[in-house]
Structure 1
């Protein structure tokens, strides 16, 4: 063991001696290299494209040679291409000059070859750089946007452009968007500058030039835009009026109710009453129900926009007559203003009296302070006097000239085509315009114009023409005769005095209508085998043409067959287009399958339905339902009308949802528009509830025919509309309950055509009905009565003074209609009374 340790120590000692005998090497010198490498060279920075390149770690006497290669080598110049090293570094200045050439994507390799004193290459040093031209300026361009920047549409896309200088710059444009609160919406603009706003508001679009997305801003420009409707300003113009100016035409979108007007102190709120617009639709004049308070600040809010008004409603300081012209032969309002010291019209806020007087050749002032003159060119001198409650007077005189009557241009209008000459109710909530007519039908054009207050404009004459008689012939009274398929414009000429205004409407002439499809109101009917003999269910058949319009199927042939030849009393009535189904106590429970085929012209269509008959249960859940035999009834009278029709309402009893029988009700009512009717719906209704008799059946008369042998009878119809029938009853537990159902009366009778001959009578009359006969005419009938605005009286009970105007709402026309054979065997005609909307203002002489 001792020998082994001695031997190991000897080996270690020998190895140590060996290490100490080997000389240590010195640290190697660093290789030649660029002191600074660059990724890019810019032509137009502060250094103006001049960069110093230095090779370090050299020895005295070495030589360095410089060169450039790559796609951009021709744009690189060296201050010296060769130099002998004096110490340990060698430098040269590299100049980059694009000479305005496009250098996008160009690169250069800066190379330094290092040679020793024996001219032997010892090192090659390289730096690859991208050549770039930095943007000096930026200019935004919106020429691709065809809309005003203050009225851009929500959801549309708008292409913003930006150009950079110099033209060969390699900098990029970066887009950003902020709303007025500073919230970022840059995600809604593309890198190419296409902005698609997702919400309305005020935005700032900014284009910024940078060398990279996160680089330093080199140049920028911004544009402020408005998306959607923007409220620009509000101004008080009267005690109860203010104007609101928008950035775009808002005539068809902004309503008076869209505004909130509240005193800043919270003391009062003004409710907007009406609104009218300037010709360009950008300025709205809003009238409020109540007046502003003097020296009070109000905030007017529209959507997210809020503006303030410093209200002025002071004492009257000046009166001014605003009317300068009146039309000949038409009474015109004398417009005036009462101004306070701040120029606000305060006439709605002050008490006092206004009177007019003056010198009026060929005219006069009416009792309601309107000026009427007859001769064009004549001049009246009118003095207005305003007297305050304390007796202070303010006066002003104005020259007013009589001018030719001109046609008023409509603020809005409606046009439609119907099957007859009777004027539709243009103000009805369910009014729908139709501008199509097919080759196999005739029709009439109808037009109605409205002013800014939605009041009908009373043109003296309305006439119609077609722009192409080869496609559609239109008579002056609006009658249309289609010639061939195509599109034309119908020109409506509205006349007032010697002045005319034209309106144009596109009309499409379609091919002949043919049956294209039929539909059933139900394809599955559930019934019971009740003993009730009058127990019936109906399926309505509706035909549609190729344009989706209803087709009259009364002349079509048909077949109706149970596919298994089971016997059930099922019939089809072409006049009503209804399939009636009866069962009866003998009907066998089960499913009956029916096939219904109808042929009209060259078209045959087959459809099917099933009738499921269930046996009447004796026990189960009991329910009661009021049912009407004809939920919708047409009161049209023609040759098929022979007797007074009736409509029945009954109380149906069900067990487990299966019809059992008609049962007793204790009382009933029928009402329409808050008025109560008797069983005879043609009689005058009552404002108080009228209880009808109890029983199993309630029978209503929608129209009455009274025939006289060899004489003309009468037809009296109930008002059209929806009637609500309520039945009161006791259920099987003795509990008092009610059940209601609806009855709809309509009238497709061809209404007599009314023509407006004139709006001002040529001779003085004493009542409204006489004025109607003086100014209007009717085909196939006579005017029986009329209604007017502002009075509950009718017809000749409404007195009319000389020169007075009256607005006629409706007229009642009595016309003669042929009917079928009455019960006594004689042929007959009846008078039919139609109430027709007129909505015209007539003037008595």
Structure 2
């Protein structure tokens, strides 16, 4: 028995051993064995050879010795794989399945699979459409931008796209839907817009994107309504602030029935600049229809005079012991001011005045002491009576007037104030207070305040509310501020008597430092082997407060993301990155551009170098550095301002040469000049201390080759410069009528102020330098004057319309 048991046990053990040896470990279900597996079951690759992730090596874990491996792809156009599992993108984007068939020594098989998604980075992205003349109006969804993009291989790009507005250039309050490209604007101005292509949010945050060129869009205002407001005035309402845009000569008014023109005397603006009041020399006819022309459009409005319906008393206080004229407004039933037509029928009666008197001869009221009150009755008379002797249609109103001290009567609230590095302010362009300064900065503070007669308040002094954080000194008509420490305080404003008039809040922020970097464009495409295979890309830097920061010297040399063989030459020129790809090998190259003080703050520049097409040039295009320019000048205008103009020849859709062409520019006032290709179109010229400007309007640029027009475009020149104001103080002058006397009369009898309210005096080398006039005996009609204004070390001569008659005898 014992012997048989030993034999059976031995046989069983041998059998188990044979079974264990024959069974492949990878295919067992025993807990101690693991099946073969791929190191990844999904992977994303990019066609772009210079991008990270352009290949992947699939590996298998838990291999069985002696097994054979066969790698295949479901679509070679999308992804290829070699005999060792190394997978690379093909020529198309999409998804492919990478399979590995494992054949064991026992001839049994198992197939492992992984999904490979192949994408390609866009190398170029662009706007497919643009508004006519790159101009839109004010409103919601004024334009719907569309975009497209392409890749180096021609495969479909797989990036996301988004629209972006350059806030630094956004003077139109423009907003854009990042996804659908619809733009909403809130005021006239301009903005720059571009489309960006990116792979994911992380690369977008790092500015690792491909961007289109910035497109400059001009936003123009429009006229909404015209309505009579006085016997010789109409209110013209716009959808935007027009203070820096319109002038009196922009309007024309005529009687629709008789075609008699009502000459425009002048214009004034509402506080927000949206309502322009146009005043004519003559009053309008009662019950007539007039036509106002603005630009190329006409607007009709009805005029009424009628009878007085209401009286509005404008005077509620007078300065103690000072004779003051009582101001009132007569309005008809339509709310039109008809004071000029009806004031001869108004009487003012003193009802009560125990501390003063009303002079019926000159219409002035005097109250001797502060706090005393006078009561008046103002009546408009029709002098029409019924049979009982009662006056019909008369209108009366009672007025109570109080005496106050002079400062209370003449100075109210200030309009606004600005902290700036500039030496003057154009108040027509200021819509809100600017009260921020950073530590270690020195800035000027300008205050816009007028008295009850709309004259600028002078004789003010400025003090700091806390000298531990802000130093303040008075310089002429403004203050100089030096920020010492972060915090907030006020600037105290006093009058000549030392009385506090206002306290102006000021915020002192931390010392500015470079915090963010971006490029005017993040990609450029150049053609190797051509003389035009160069580009210059502007660098932009913002501080931690979101404001522009000095660029030159504050960013590091661009660094290639990987080592390239015979790539383009990358260099720095001031605030620009220069690219030279004349001798570069075709391909895609990427460079990181970082802040000099923070290597983690970067943006990426992509340079796509194309091979020169073998086909000849078949089209031409005029390229401008800008299609819209503004001739406005200030103290920073120290050099000539120009637009770069060139015509390029294209082959196979790529720019390959500067074309040999004659370029003609035509514009307003019979402007015509001819240039060779690749020139600068000067719209503001600074020479020998004098600034000159091109006239406003559209300048057409035409390129010709062999007598045929090959390209055409235009530059729109605008001028938002606020002209000085000329106030005529006296209309008579002694002398004979000649050029010298007329000039002297205007120089001596006027007050000239610039846009900031600073007086321009001839004694200071500025002010009126010329007069355009016509004469009739001793009467001289002054059409306009030439006013010289200094901007830094240079001067500009404005032409200011006067439109008034003086007498010289």
TM-score by length of structure 1 reads: 0.42
Of structures 1 and 2, the one with the larger relative CO (CA 8 A, separation 6+) is 2
| Largest Rg, 1 or 2 | 1
